[in-house]
Amino acid sequence: MHPKAVEAVAGLLTGPANASSPHRSGKNARDLLDNFRKRCAACLEVAPREILFTSGGTESNNLALQGSLKWLKRTRRWLYRDGYPHTLVSCIEHSSVEKTFGMIEEAGYRAAKLPVGSGGVLDMGAARAQLDARTALVSAMLGNNEFGAIQPIAELAEAAREAQRECIVHTDAVQCVGKIPVRPGELGVDLLSLSAHKFGGPPGVGLLWIGSRVGVDALFGGGKQQGGIRPGTENIPGIAGMTVALEEAVGSLAESAAGIAALRDELQAGILALDVGAVINAPDAPRLPHVLSVTFPSMRAETLMMLLDREGIRVSPGSACSTGNPNPSPALLALGLTEEQARCTLRFSFGAGNDSAQVEKTLEVLARIVRKPAGSRIR
């Protein structure tokens, strides 16, 4: 967490009342929420009324996808005259999107996959071929969380509207705030998901931007908080921390992104210099500055992760939300990696607390691990 976000959370842990309460303290809490909503909106260059506070990226994605289809069914029934409309999702999504589309498909919708090329970027020719007048919903992440490729979301949104002017377009931008500019208006999307812990805010809080062109219906019953779309008492301390972190991330974007990209490139060059057959994934794609995906063909990712962890170096085979899943990453398989290659792939990621000395240490440890004789490696 950013130090200023920590201060913002701590300052409200014992302070605000329930924002739905009718007394003066409740009004003060509502005023706080209104202030935080305006500040978050200013960072994204959107209207405050379009900001919905959530518990994080997973909830934002579920609300965006399931909630928008509920709204569409309730308000645009003409789309349902010939059966359920089509939905499209990219093949490299986070599990919170991928599994939600699985639920959508079980409910009777057609949920087709948008492919990526070997470079990790959406194949727009294939996407246009799948878009048609019955396409009701399209979702593709802005920046991939495993190998960092930035996707052509604005082009996809334009193509979707050309095929069906009422089509709803959603993007999961969780990995992107503070790393690249994130402005819904420039992307041309209708729904955009964020999670505070990815840009220095507290865990367990996020937001969903809902453009004025579309709506989202609630997924569960409750009170009238946030227009009834997301009922439940608002997490004011968490929202305060997210707001401050978002302002800091957006305000320091150019400088912080350049510094983090330099660390990524330093580590990438050092790994290739080890001359152990390591392969950088999606190296030619426009990439998020803080994500580096590397396949070490001689060692399983879990083994490397464990050995690096012993040295105080924290890496992961992929998304934290997929931990414990024995199957190889669908996103890596979509890149064209074999199952064995996918199981030998590590993700290195960077933040404001990292420096060149840590990169040097990582390279030193990697050199000791990956250069050991094959028989001495733990598998």
**Catalytic residue IDs:** 321
Q: Is residue 120 a contact partner of residue 92, using CB atoms and an 8 Å limit?
A: yes
Query: For residues 276-289, b (16+ Cβ closer than 10 Å) or e, as one string?
Result: bebbbbbbebebbb
Q: Is residue 313 a contact partner of residue 259, using CB atoms and an 8 Å limit?
A: no
Residues 6+ apart with CB under 8 A from 44: 51, 182, 183, 184, 192, 209
For residue 61, which of 185, 173, 149 has the smallest C-alpha distance? 173
Tokens describing residue 156: 């996809």
Q: State which H helix or E strand residue 161 sits in.
A: helix 153-163
Q: State which H helix or E strand residue 261 sits in.
A: helix 253-273
Residue matched to tokens 């992929």: 318
Residues 6+ apart with CB under 8 A from 169: 137, 138, 139, 153, 156, 157, 160, 161, 188, 189, 190, 191
For residue 199, which of 14, 43, 356 has the smallest C-alpha distance? 43
Number of H helices, E strands in the chain: 14, 10
Distances (CA, A) of 226 to 94, 218, 232, 357: 26, 10, 9, 46
Q: What is the DSSP track for 29-65?
A: HHHHHHHHHHHHHHHHTS-GGGEEEESSHHHHHHIII
**What is the C-alpha to C-alpha distance for residues 127 and 124, in angstroms, rounded to an integer?**
5
Q: Is 107 exposed, middle or buried (0-12, 13-18, 19+ CB in 10 A)?
A: exposed
**Phi/psi at 136 (5° precision):** -100, -30
